[in-house]
Amino acid sequence: MIVIEKQGGVVAAYDPDYQPLPPGKVSKRGVITEMSRKSRRGLLLLLNRMAYDQRTSFVTLTFHNTPTVSQSNAAFKRFRAWITATYPGAAAVWRREVQPERGAIHFHLLIFNLPFIPQNYFQSIWTRCTQEDLSIVDIRRVRSRKHALRYVSKYIAKLPTERGTTSLELSPYLQPAEKKSVGRAWGWINAEALPFAPTERIAIDDPDVSASFWLLAGALTFGRCGNDAHIAILFYDDPDVMFTLIKRKAKWWTSLDPGEGKICYNKCTEALAN
Domains in the chain with CATH codes: 2-27+196-273 (no CATH), 50-192 (3.30.70.1910)
Give every CB contact of residue 217 below 8 A, 6+ residues apart in sequence: 13, 225, 226, 232, 233, 234
At 109, is the pLDDT very low, low, confident or very high (cuts 50, 70, 90)?
A: very high
Residue-level pLDDT at 266: 57
Angle CA 185–188–194, to nearest 5: 145
At 223, is the pLDDT very low, low, confident or very high (cuts 50, 70, 90)?
A: low
Q: Which residues pair with 188 in a beta bridge?
A: 93
Q: Percentage of residues in the chain with pLDDT exceeding 90?
A: 32
pTM (predicted TM-score): 0.78
At 98, is the pLDDT very low, low, confident or very high (cuts 50, 70, 90)?
A: confident
The SS3 assignment for 65 reads: coil
Question: Exposed/middle/buried for 17, CB within 10 Å: 0-12, 13-18, 19+?
Answer: exposed
Q: What is the pLDDT of residues 138-164, one digit of tens each?
A: 999 988 888 888 878 777 777 665 444
Give every CB contact of residue 160 below 8 A, 6+ residues apart in sequence: 34, 35, 98, 100, 171, 172
Mean pLDDT of 186-206: 91
| More confident of the two residues 235 and 180 | 235
Q: Is the model's pLDDT at 91 over the cut of 80?
A: yes
